[in-house]
Amino acid sequence: MLRLAKKRNILVAPEFKTLMEAACRADWITVSNVFENASMRSGWRHSPGYDPAIANELWAPVQETYGAFNLVKEFHPDNLVRYREDLLEKLPAGSVLFAGTDSGRFLGTFFLDAQKAQGITLITQNGLVVPAYMDYLQDTLAYIRLPSPDEANAAYRWYMEEIRAGRVHDEGAKIEDGRICVEGVAGVMAINSQLARWIFEHNNDKHSFFVEESYVLPWMYPYLSPYGVLMRLDKQPVSTPQDDPVKWQRMIGDDFVFWAKISSRFCERPELWADVFARNTYSKMRSAIAGLYEYRGFVNAAEDAYKQAVRLAPAMPEASFRLANLYMRLNRSDQAIRTLRQLEECFPAGDPRVTLTRDAIKQFEAAPRLTAPVK
């Protein structure tokens, strides 16, 4: 952090020094308290305050330090070791990992720093829209080409043109004092998607790319194939199931064998199953691969993979909602509603997720049924 501050001539906020010193002492309470106070002035997660002393390039390493501390204390030590192995050990040297979730980004960065790995680059696709995070990448990634400020601004201009042309409706996007301002999640992720694509297209001649998905970035789907807990982002579109069915059946078979082992690992040891954070992390990754199967038209594989994700984390809404939506698309509304009712039973009375789930059930119950199932 001090090296970055010197390079950019940034004054290190006292809070940042306190937090990093506490991290070196493994003083979680101080790290947490200082971070929560600073985050209110960071502009992070739409916080009301904005302090230039906090909301600068140094916020990224501070956020990663806090995020790693927060997750390390929640994961069972054995799950933490296996997650490091699953996330990183199969990646070839020189790989770029788009890590979208908190676990992928913060623990991935922690693992790479702890083992002083020089051959793997980790980028969170969710942060590319933030200029300070892009500055952080520019100053820390020596071998990856990143978009210049003008090239990054082109992604904003593209999004505003999509709005003007009526192809996108986003009330959260506007122009203030000649600057484009995008606040909604959909708009932010659309721009992040464009920037991730730019990085991929300008570096895939020298680097292998892998994805740990958070939000779906549709442009990636033609290039994706399952790769352990991750997905590989190939340089060229992957051959379709119609063109190479043998290849896809082999990949799917290997994938289900791999995930059966992961499921068994949790089920065989109660102390690992009690680790909700780890199970949620793996459930999210399994849902992402199930989404790839759904995109490719492998309905049975998608259904089974979503079910694996639900079994890993029954109270994790994403897997159940994606499975229910698949059932609705297949005109299997009874199964969709049953899936969401099972999800609803996981939440205590008064939990806001109960209302969200019940609203979805009502929508599914009111949806017209097709005369024949969708193939």
pLDDT in tens, 223-253: 999 999 999 999 999 999 999 999 999 999 9
Do 259 and 228 have their domain in common?
Answer: no
Residue 37 shares a structural domain with residue 162? yes
How much of the chain, in percent, has pLDDT values that exceed 90?
77
What percent of the chain lies above the pLDDT cut of 70? Answer: 94
Clarify whether residues 117 and 224 are in a common domain. yes
pLDDT of 117 higher than 80: no
Can you tell me the mean pLDDT for 204-210?
97
Q: What's the pLDDT score for residue 375?
A: 46
160 with 302, same domain: the answer is no
* 81 part of a folded domain: yes
Cα–Cα distance, 13 to 33 (Å, whole number): 15
> What tokens does 112 get?
């790479």
- Indicate whether 166 belongs to any domain: yes
Name the token pair of 246. Answer: 């043998």
Instruction: Indicate whether 354 belongs to any domain.
Output: yes
What is the reported pLDDT for 55? 87
User: Same domain for 141 and 265?
Assistant: no
Q: Total structural domains in the chain?
A: 2
* One domain for residues 128 and 8: yes
Q: Is residue 371 included in any domain, yes or no?
A: no
The CATH number covering residue 351 comes to 1.25.40.10
Residue 30 is assigned to a structural domain of this protein = yes
Region 51-55: what's the mean pLDDT? 86
Length of the chain: 375
Q: How far apart are CA 79 and CA 92, in angstroms?
A: 22
Instruction: Give the CB-side neighbour count of residue 191, counting CA atoms within 13 A.
Output: 28
192 in a structural domain? yes
Clarify whether residues 205 and 305 are in a common domain. no
Whether the pLDDT of residue 312 is over 50: the answer is: yes
Mean pLDDT of the chain: 92
Q: How far apart are CA 217 and CA 197, in angstroms?
A: 9
Confidence of residue 373 (pLDDT cuts 50, 70, 90): very low
49 confidence band (pLDDT: 50, 70, 90): low
* pLDDT for the residue numbered 191: 93
- pLDDT tens digits along 160-206: 888 878 888 776 676 666 566 777 788 889 999 999 999 999 999 99
- Of 233, 253, 274, the last residue of a domain is 233
Q: Which residue, of 204, 233, 262, is where some domain finishes?
A: 233
Same domain, 210 and 300: no
The verdict on 167 and 267 lying in the same domain is no
**Helical segments of the chain, H only:** 2-8, 14-24, 28-39, 59-72, 77-84, 102, 108-114, 131-140, 149-164, 185-203, 245-267, 270-273, 276-296, 299-312, 317-329, 333-344, 352-366
Count the neighbouring beta carbons within 10 Å of the beta carbon of residue 177. 5
Is 239 a domain residue? no
Per-residue pLDDT averaged across 258-268, rounded? 97
49 with 132, same domain: the answer is yes
How far apart, in whole angstroms, are the C-alpha atoms of residue 270 and residue 276?
11
Residues 6+ apart with CB under 8 A from 297: 241
Residues 96 and 205 sit within 8 Å (Cβ to Cβ): no
Whether 375 is in a domain gets the answer: no
- Give residue 244's pLDDT: 97
Residue 249's domain comprises 245-366
pLDDT tens digits for 148-163? 999 999 998 888 888 8
pLDDT at residue 374 above 60?
Answer: no
Tell me which of 178, 206, 233 is where a domain ends.
Answer: 233
- For residues 28 and 118, membership in a common domain is answered with yes
Q: Which residues contact 89 (CB under 8 A, 6 or more apart)?
A: none
Report how far apart, in Å, the C-alpha atoms of 134 and of each of 12, 95, 254 are. 18, 19, 37
Same domain, 196 and 282: no
- pLDDT tens column, 322-358: 999 999 999 999 999 999 999 999 999 899 999 999 9
